[in-house]
Structure 1
Amino acid sequence: MKLSRTARIVLGCVTAAGLAVVYAPLLLVLLNSFNADRSFGWPPSGLTGEWWRAALHNHGARDALLTSLKAGLAATGIALGLGTMAAYAVHRHRFFGRRTVSFLLVLPIALPGIVSGIALNAAFRTVLDPLGIGFGLFTVVVGHATFCVVVVFNNVAARLRRISPSMAEASADLGARPWQTFRHVTFPAMRSALFAGALLAFALSFDEIVVTTFTAGPGTRTLPIWIYENLARPHQAPVVNVVAALLVALSVVPVAVAQRLSSDTAGGRL
């Protein structure tokens, strides 16, 4: 479809305005992390790296970062295992209720975070409390895994749809067992999708705050929770801006890499 010059200009202006609404606040956070004025007066009275040094030496922020990394890596590992097996079962086998299972696997990502958080909180209190297991890192990991599985499932399922079944059939004709076919044919073809799904799942877990609020214990603080708790404290505001800027940077990298891998039309190689 060929657009007129006026239509292209209007479309470009609307796109630029939309991107500005999304990314201008992020750029403002980054600029304020170097703002010498503690009250963030505008325009900045000067630039300084003092807040970055303060953030690096802030024990609360470092502990929260470590907790987020632990939760993100654990939730991603669980999601990789469950999401891959579920995608393989749904898209390589025919059984009763297959569409229902696929729908139920995708549903958690569509539910509002506060609904998932309340449901998980009630479930943990009902099931884990009698067993003497309280809220903490374990419950955070389980809560994050519920929606991280969806990301891995969708990535692997999309890649499996692009892999011709004839490849597995040819492998079987040559005498390979199902596990050998998966190891030498299917897995190499979907390896990049697994990596992309893991990156997206980690980024989703690392940024999560709503579900974490309902599943974390009193002494468990992830980085988003730490930011939220310190946002209203005047003396911590510059450090919060630095941590928020780092959080944005850490989130951009895995999402960009995952998008590049997901768009790989060859189906396969890292």
Structure 2
Amino acid sequence: MHSDKASMGLKLAAWGGLLFLHFPILIIFIYAFNTESAGFSFPPQGFTLKWFSLTFARPDVLEAITLSLQVAAIATLVALLLGTLAAAALWRRDFFGKESVSLLLVLPIALPGIVTGLALLSAFKSLGIEPSILTIVIGHATFCVVIVYNNVIARLRRTSWNLIEASMDLGADGWQTFRYIVLPNLGSALLAGGMLAFALSFDEIIVTTFTAGHERTLPLWLLNQLSRPRDVPITNVVAMLVMVATMLPILAAYYLTRGGEGVAGSGK
């Protein structure tokens, strides 16, 4: 009986914690459909979709969305390439300083964004590189690489080396082994890593603040909207779209990787 009460108490505490964390997001979702132009008038006056049409009719919003999508896509591609190569190199070979290299690879995700942003800004200034889309992509790639690397190295560690040796014994060269043995094992890990990297890049604001010039990504646009109370309904709609755009890839990545140990060729 005591155990049932404790279990019920833990469930209530867990649900209470989730409600506390997600209540602000729920408020944004509700007021994105509010008919009242005041934005946060309580209670909501009704349901409407007019703010969505007004949002997508604004050129500044469309430009910010396009820029964020471009930056996130390019940063994700760079991260997939560099993160996969780094993971493969560290998985295949043992060498002096391997742990230090691994630490350096994951360090950008552990550092505060403001430290990374300041470091990148100083590096760009010393090299004479003007802030542009390129500098934003480089800034985002620094932490996106970590996401891909962690996913790929975890999957490679669950891949039996006997599969690689068997492929070589059967006459396959390095490319054929990679294409038919290694890559199928990495498929879901790469997809999940790419989705997570895209989501993180799409809503990144701290590093972007230091690496952007006149460019304005969607998070920077939202930050600028804080000083424009008349645009609160439009801001609510854009904030909701950003949350959905980042939440869906993260959920998809979770479902893709939670059963990763059971993929074909993982050593089972």
Q: TM-score band (shorter)? A: over 0.9
Q: For residue 190 of structure 1, what is the aligned residue in structure 2?
A: 186
Following superposition of structure 1 onto structure 2, how do residues 11-26 of structure 1 map, counting pairs within 5 Å? Answer: 11-26=10-25
* 2:170 aligned partner, one-letter code: L
Check whether the contact 1:162–1:267 (CA below 8 A) recurs between aligned residues.
Answer: no
1:248 aligns with 2:251: no
Following superposition of structure 1 onto structure 2, how do residues 71-110 of structure 1 map, counting pairs within 5 Å? Answer: 71-110=71-110
Q: For residue 142 of structure 2, what is the aligned residue in structure 1?
A: 146
1:65 aligns with 2:60: no
* 1:173 aligned partner, one-letter code: D
Output the CA distance in 2 between the equivalents of 1:89 and 1:99: 13
- Selected match of 1:160 from 156, 162, 166: 156
1:202 aligns with 2:198: yes
Deviations 1:113-172 (A, max 9, x none): 011001101111111x1xxx4101000000000000000000000100111110001111
Structure 2 gap segments, 5+ residues each: none
Q: 3-state SS of the aligned residue for 1:255?
A: helix
Output the CA distance in 2 between the equivalents of 1:37 and 1:81: 47
TM-score normalised by length of structure 2: 0.95
Output the CA distance in 1 between the equivalents of 2:125 and 2:232: 35
Output the CA distance in 2 between the equivalents of 1:257 and 1:229: 30
Aligned residues: 263
Structure 1 gap segments, 5+ residues each: none
Inter-CA distance 117–101: structure 2 relative to 1 (3 Å threshold): same
- Selected match of 2:257 from 262, 265, 270: 262
Report the Cα offset of residue 10 of structure 1.
1.1
Deviates more, 1:10-19 or 1:37-46: 37-46
CA RMSD, 1 decimal? 1.4
Identity %: 47
Q: For residue 126 of structure 1, what is the aligned residue in structure 2?
A: 126
Output the CA distance in 1 between the equivalents of 2:197 and 2:159: 23
1:177 aligns with 2:173: yes
Report the Cα offset of residue 98 of structure 1.
1.0
Q: 3-state SS of the aligned residue for 1:4?
A: helix
Q: 3-state SS of the aligned residue for 2:262?
A: coil
- The runs of at least 4 consecutive aligned structure 1 residues that moved more than 4 Å come to none
